[in-house]
Amino acid sequence: MSSLPVTGRLDAMKIMNRRTALVATTLGALLGVTTPGTLAAAAPVPAPAAASGSTASGSGSDGRRGGSGCRPGTLDPTPVQQAIAGLPQADATSAQVRITTPDGCWTGTSGVRDLRSQAPVPPHARFRVGSVTKTFTAVLVLQLAAEGRIDLDAPVQRLLPGLLPADYPTVTVRQLLDHTNGLPSPGVPDGIEWQLAHRYDRWTPEQLVRLGLHHPREFDPGTKQHYTNMGYIVAGMIIEKITGHSYATELDRRIARPLGLRDTYAPGDDPRIRGPHAHGYQTVVRDGRTELVDVTTWSQTFTPAAGNVISSLTDLDTFYTALFAGRMVPPAQLNTMFTLPAVRDVSGGPARYSVGLTAFPLPDGETLWIKTGSRYGYLAGVASTRDGRFRVEYSITGTDAKGEELGATAQRVITAALSLL
């Protein structure tokens, strides 16, 4: 175990090379969040101090039977250990990180399972992966395409008759998956109090589509790119229509069971996280006072097939390793996941989103393929080189996970991990 004071962590961050700092800042822009210009130390959360929450512990081996091995080799995880040391803090109550390089593998945790008990994060803790769900959904669709049951260029109107208005322009399955569909997103109040009051609401995909269609389409399908959930919500409906099974069933049958993923599932209407997990919290200001509200239990029916899956670090590493190695979909379909559409983003920049992944160009010309996600209380991310030699998975229970600014802990983790690339 190791413990590093705040000044030590800041000094360590100062010596990160310019390449890594540039990458972290660019990544924040790519994720649609703001990265703080200076990494200020976060104040501790208003909870009793506990030794279990003040260190960053790690292991070079995965003792779980049947789990993906994580052997330390010569990898020095010090930058990542320092990045997550000292939790809980104001911006995060816990963190889990797994990093694999040609030099070895390291998995570590910091912080507490929950603020009431101050118990440490349980081993193999499950968490909400948010939009990392989209990679799972893309794989399900591509498997069906490989089986000849779905044509990626088939119109949604033919697969789901009546879902879109009769005069709506053609939207293809491929456009759903690479965010070039132009479908409008459902609008609900942004305020946290409204979100908390409606956290147990249950939505159907059809309701979400109808709610979105109250707004005009963003652009003509196939002409631009804009990252939203709506394409994947509709893709989930197509999976269920073609297979005759629920999304959760297909996720389990086609991905989780074949790969031996014991922590990965779609919760459906269940607002809980089953099995071992760390609690998620959200900062709320009420009557001028800042409170942390436990938001662990929350219905995920507002983001079906787009942001609802629950998983663990080991499961994510196993899944992405198998995917990038070509064991989940055949080469023809897998290539679509590493191919960007020939359009511009709505902001005018280049397209960055492929089918189920995000292309993150590095300064040296290499591309890192990433997927990140956030749900209230939880931040998650996966990054890998195309050959899988460098992989990172993380989960952070951020106290403003849906905020516009990337939290200090998340920025430190990203920067530290990339320093080992």
CA 93 to centroid of chain Cα atoms:
18
- The CB density around residue 320, as the number of other CB atoms within 10 Å, is 22
Q: Which of 131, 374, 384, 419 is catalytic?
A: 131
Question: Computed over its alpha carbons, how large is the radius of gyration of the chain?
Answer: 21
Cis peptide before 48 (omega within 30 of 0): no
131 is annotated as an active-site residue: yes
Pairing between β-strand 344-345 and β-strand 224-225 as defined by DSSP bridges:
parallel
Q: For residue 51, what is the DSSP state?
A: G
Q: Helical H runs in 36-108?
A: 78-84
- For 281, the token pair is 């919290």
What does the alpha-carbon distance between residue 189 and residue 286 come to, in Å, rounded to a whole number? 18
Q: Which amino acid is at 261?
A: L
Q: Do 341 and 351 meet the contact criterion of CB atoms below 8 Å apart?
A: yes
SS3 98: strand
Q: Do 357 and 135 meet the contact criterion of CB atoms below 8 Å apart?
A: yes
What does the alpha-carbon distance between residue 38 and residue 10 come to, in Å, rounded to a whole number? 10
Which are the contacts of 49, defined by CB distance < 8 A and separation ≥ 6?
Answer: none
The single residue listed with the structure tokens 């965010």 is 179
> Residues with catalytic annotation?
131
